[in-house]
Amino acid sequence: MTPPVQTGHAAKDSRVAAIDGLRGVRARVVGAWHACKPLGADWLLIAANAAVGIFFVLSGYALTRGWDGRFGVFLMRRFVRLWPAYALCLGVGYLIAGVHPVWSEFLWYPLIDPDAKPLIDPPVWSLVLEAWMMPFMPLIVCAASGGLTRAALCIAILIVAGAAAPFLFVSALFVAGSFLARRHYRCRFLELAVPQWLGRISYSLYLTHWLVIALAIRALGPAGGVAALPAVFAVAWLVWRGVERPSLRASRRIGGAAGTVARLSLALRPDVMAGAVAPGAPVILSVPGALWGAQVARRPRQARSALAEVLEAYSAIKWGLTKRNAIDDHGQSARSD
């Protein structure tokens, strides 16, 4: 991996190809452990545990780079991004197990200890912990936003506290990833096509691989997990294509629509519009403002283009009327003199 490059605010929201590739490799290591475990490949356990730890660090890294301070929008986007594939795989897991679902688990509750052995989909425990990190994201970003000493102190405290509550140890890994997010990393291997493809489907791969492997072992015996590896990738790609990718696009639309509606709401505030239109106009304009919110949600690109023209017209009107008022005030002052 080449030396890290300091990034500015402009690059903060960009994706890092090497990190995406590392996500894919990490998911593949965990899948290899579950496939080879029935054959006695216990040596893969250390690598799998390390991969899960890296998963939490990478999550803190990626989420911090995309953090813009809009907490409510952030939570909505994460829910839309994560829940559809998670709920689908959890539901399929209950069908495979043949047991009645615990409905609270579909909302990432209760917290699952990493030492627990969930019967439905074992990799889910780490995703539940990640989901519960989301409400604490402002604190995570704050803890990592200072210097190295501040971040290291927070991480050390969380690691010590994690001896009693694993949730806090995971928080330490998130803070570490958040601190590293101020830099951009490069790695030629991780930026190759195969790691990038694995990174693209890593969430679906992580969710689905154990379900496919469990069915294969049930049908073919201990070697079924290894034999099912091609099916593991095929199922992960199908879930990514049919469920994860649409949910990812929907989460991005939420972010764009929320920003557009916020700017429109600001433009239509009475105190902003009072200098540009008649006193009763802000009340009237609130109706098209609501209609614009619905339009943005349906067609964000066209709505944003038209919105730019509307705001430009409002600015011109406000500037013209402000100029006229200044001339009138000057004339009245001259007459009084």
Query: In the predicted model, is pLDDT for residue 141 greater than 80?
Result: yes
Q: Which range, of 58-72, 127-141, 268-282, 320-334, averages the lowest pLDDT?
A: 268-282
Q: What is the mean pLDDT of residues 195-222?
A: 96
**Tokens 């939490």 identify what position?**
56
Band the pLDDT of 277: cuts 50, 70, 90: very low
Do 237 and 202 touch, CB atoms closer than 8 A? Answer: no
Looking at 57-208, which runs of residues are DSSP E strands?
Answer: 183-186
Tell me what the pLDDT averaged over the chain comes to. Answer: 82
Give the sign of the dihedral formed by CA 242, CA 247, CA 248, CA 253.
Answer: positive
Which pLDDT score, from 0 to 100, does residue 238 have? 98
Beta bridge partners of 184: 5
**Tokens 């691989």 identify what position?**
209
Do 96 and 215 touch, CB atoms closer than 8 A? Answer: yes
Max distance between CA atoms of the chain, in angstroms, equals: 102
Tens digit of pLDDT for each residue in 12-25? 446 899 999 999 99
Tokens of residue 101, six digits: 């679902």
Do 172 and 159 touch, CB atoms closer than 8 A? Answer: yes
- Burial class from Cβ neighbours inside 10 Å (0-12, 13-18, 19+) for residue 232 reads buried
Closest by CA to 56, choosing from 79, 90, 22, 87, is 22
Q: How much is the pTM? A: 0.76
What ranges do the domains of the chain cover?
2-248, 268-336
Q: CA-CA distance, 65 to 63, in Å (whole number)?
A: 5
Q: What is the mean pLDDT of residues 41-68?
A: 94
Q: CA-CA distance, 287 to 293, in Å (whole number)?
A: 10
Band the pLDDT of 284: cuts 50, 70, 90: very low
Tokens of residue 188, six digits: 């030629």
Give the sign of the dihedral formed by CA 304, CA 308, CA 313, CA 314.
Answer: positive
DSSP label at 38?
G
Q: What is the mean pLDDT of residues 120-136?
A: 92
Query: In the predicted model, is pLDDT for residue 293 greater than 70?
Result: no
Give whole-number Cα distances, 261 to 48, 256, 304, in Å: 44, 9, 9
Do 177 and 26 touch, CB atoms closer than 8 A? Answer: no
Query: In the predicted model, is pLDDT for residue 299 greater than 70?
Result: no
Looking at the chain, which runs of residues are DSSP E strands?
Answer: 2-6, 183-186
Tokens of residue 39, six digits: 């054959």
